[in-house]
Amino acid sequence: MVQLTTHGSNPTMNGMDPALKPRLQRRSAFEYAAWAVCILLGVGLLVSVATNPNFQWDVVAKYFTNESILRGLVLTIVLTVVSMVLGTLLGLVLAIMRSSSIKPIAATAGAYITFFRGTPVLVQLIFWFNIAALYPNLSIGGTDIDVNALITPIMAAVIGLTLNEAAYMAEIIRGGFSSVAKGQIEAADSLGMSGMMKMRKVIIPQAMPSIIPATGNQVIGMFKETSLVSVLGVAELLQSAQLIYARTYETIPLLIVASLWYLVMTLLLSYPQSQLEKKYSRSSSRLPRKAKKVVLTDPEGIAR
Amino acid sequence: MTCDGTIHGRGIRKSFGAKTVLQNIDLDIASGEICCIIGPSGSGKSTLLRCVNGLETVDLGVLKVNGELFGYYETDSAFHALSRTRLAEQRTKVGIVFQQFNLFPNMTAQDNIMAGPVLVKGGDKKQAAQRAQQLLASVGLSGFGGHYPAQLSGGQQQRVAIARALAMDPQIMLFDEPTSALDPEKVGEVLAVMKDLAQKGMTMVVVTHEMGFAREVADTLLFMDEGCIVERGDAREVLANPKERRTQAFLERVL
């Protein structure tokens, strides 16, 4: 609401105390113009989408809760959860290796991260699917395993997504480690803590505030990344849609169905994500969650 | 091998890259001695202190802490670095208190104090908790065990940090400018705890700008400048009648 007041500073004019008058933001003509343009464009787009029969909204509605679409959605969720959990665990190991003072260990982790971040995940997925071409037989403890039978499309999808995600998570976790103040590590050292103890009790708990929001982002990214495994023939959300339109030729409506589901899930995930970000960006985040509120009535302990 | 709370140094040298921060340091601190180190910033005071705790390693020279070669063992031709476990063991006998407190923010005051005895020494939790209560009481903070560092004032945090270092039962306590990050109001409460500790016969090395504390509590005083010990002697004597021109100039400016 914008009120155009001409000359309101005189209390006798309308009997209002100038000290109590609200202060209004100045709005530029550009802002009004931007509103107008946006509304026009938005309405135009809506009308076009609603009236263009090629969108076939009835088909979209028909397939939105189709059983094979829902089954694809579940598989997409499972793939996301499994690759994120495994990827985060492997990423943690890589991050610890990368910050090791033992050169070959740090270099191994560095090489892994460089390789897996440096090649496209789509290529990696196809690569894992065809790994049997490189190593047809795997021999573990004397028993031979046929790699071709072992690497099913879902297996290749999980391996590919996990190994790729681990490289990114390793960098996120390492970034978290380096956000821990040097003095904290010195304090742990001066108490004689061993490397793993320091990691578990001092570094990881304090790195969490910077790791968790970034991981939330990765989950959202991973959810959409899983669509890549459709090239392996895994019947996740996108592949399920593709399977249907290959039969019915209703390409656009089914792609809309898949997109809507991706959008819905991303929106559902981005609420907790933004809450996490808010929670950890607060200055009070240095206080652990389980800390009780302390009301300091007598604020100082008395020094003798 | 005795655990006697002494520090002996001969010809200690330390550089960071091309910059020499400690040169030709000879040091003799007796058991129960309170030694204050003063000097301008960048003179190597903190580095010397950190060497005694192994946060920095010396490049050259002999450093004996608690009667043992610190961080190294000697053969005919060289000093060899000790294993991490042996080094950690030596370090637990030397407590250090930092300028920035460096309490673990993810632990309560009591857990901070218990971290050393329980996590490092593998001691009994109940006993450690009891000891932590006693230590908190001895620094005037009984009842603050459940508070997190962020809920404590600077002075309180520093007193918890002192208690944390004491929980390891060290023979030597090092203080690296313990009051420099505090409000002037809160300096007194930390110095009071340190005085108390000095009276109990703890060997203490204190890097400080608190000349009043040095005059009142210290036995000996070292004045350092540009990586060398310029002047040393009885604390009151040096503060009252500095012999070296460099010391005179410094004291004139800070007193």
pLDDT for A197-248, tens place per residue? Answer: 999 999 998 898 889 889 989 999 999 999 999 999 999 999 999 999 999 9
SS3 assignment for chain B: CCCCCCEEEEEEEEEECCEEEEEEEEEEECCCCEEEEECCCCCCHHHHHHHHHCCCCCCEEEEEECCEECCEEECCCCEEECCHHHHHHHHCCEEEECCCCCCCCCCCHHHHHHHHHHHHCCCCHHHHHHHHHHHHHHCCCCCCCCCCHHHCCHHHHHHHHHHHHHCCCCCEEEEECCCCCCCHHHHHHHHHHHHHHHHCCCEEEEECCCHHHHHHHCCEEEEEECCEEEEEEEHHHHHHCCCCHHHHHHHHHHC
Instruction: Give 3-state DSSP helix, strand, coil % of chain A, rounded to 5.
Output: 75, 5, 25
In terms of C-beta density within 10 A (0-12 exposed, 13-18 middle, 19 or more buried), how is residue A28 classed? Answer: exposed
Q: Nearest chain A Cα to B115, which residue? A: A191
Q: What is the pLDDT of residue A17?
A: 87
Q: What is the pLDDT of residue A171?
A: 96
| Residues in chain B where the model's pLDDT stays below 50 | 1-2
Token digits for A145? 């395993």
Q: Which of B70, B106, B205 to mutate to test the interface with A (most CBs of A within 10 A)?
A: B106
| CA B182 – CA B185 distance, rounded (Å) | 8
- Between the alpha carbon of residue A224 and those of residues A161, B59, B148, the distances in Å are 12, 54, 40
Task: Tell me the shortest Cα–Cα distance from B86 to chain A, in angstroms.
Answer: 10
**Torsional sign, CA B20, B24, B28, B34:** negative
Q: Nearest chain A Cα to B94, which residue? A: A190
| Residues in chain A where the model's pLDDT stays below 70 | 1-14, 281-304
Q: Which of A190, A198, A293 to mutate to test the interface with B (most CBs of B within 10 A)?
A: A190
B105 and A195 within 8 Å at the Cβ level: the answer is no
Looking at the complex, does the CB of residue B84 fall below 8 Å from at least one CB of chain A? yes
| CA A278 – CA A275 distance, rounded (Å) | 5
Q: What is the pLDDT of residue B251?
A: 92
Cα torsion through A254, A257, A260, A266, rounded to 10? -90
**CB contact at 8 A, B22 and B58:** yes
Q: Which residues contact A247 (CB under 8 A, 6 or more apart)?
A: none
Q: What is the pLDDT of residue A270?
A: 87
A303 and B105 within 8 Å at the Cβ level: the answer is no
Token digits for A67? 């059983």
Q: A161: closest CA among A237, A216, A63, A91?
A: A91
Helix (H) or strand (E) holding A194: none
Looking at the complex, does the CB of residue A100 fall below 8 Å from at least one CB of chain B? no
Find the length of chain B.
Answer: 255
Strand partners, B60: B13
Within 10 angstroms of residue A259's Cβ, the number of other Cβ atoms is 15
Q: What is the pLDDT of residue A155?
A: 93
Looking at the complex, does the CB of residue B148 fall below 8 Å from at least one CB of chain A? yes
Which residues numbered 94-123 in B keep a CB inside 8 Å of some CB on A? 94-96, 98, 100, 102-107, 115-116, 119-120
Q: What is the pLDDT of residue A18?
A: 87
Which residue shows structure tokens 């007598």?
Answer: A298
Strand partners, B10: B62
Looking at the complex, does the CB of residue B190 fall below 8 Å from at least one CB of chain A? yes
Q: What is the pLDDT of residue A290?
A: 62
DSSP SS3 for A174: helix
Q: What is the pLDDT of residue A280?
A: 72
pTM for this one? 0.81
Looking at the complex, does the CB of residue A302 fall below 8 Å from at least one CB of chain B? yes
Which residues numbered 184-243 in A keep a CB inside 8 Å of some CB on B? 184, 186-195, 197, 201-202, 205-206
**CB contact at 8 A, A44 and A219:** no
DSSP SS3 for A192: coil
Which residue shows structure tokens 């109001």?
Answer: B185
- Between the alpha carbon of residue B8 and those of residues A40, B58, B75, the distances in Å are 83, 13, 19
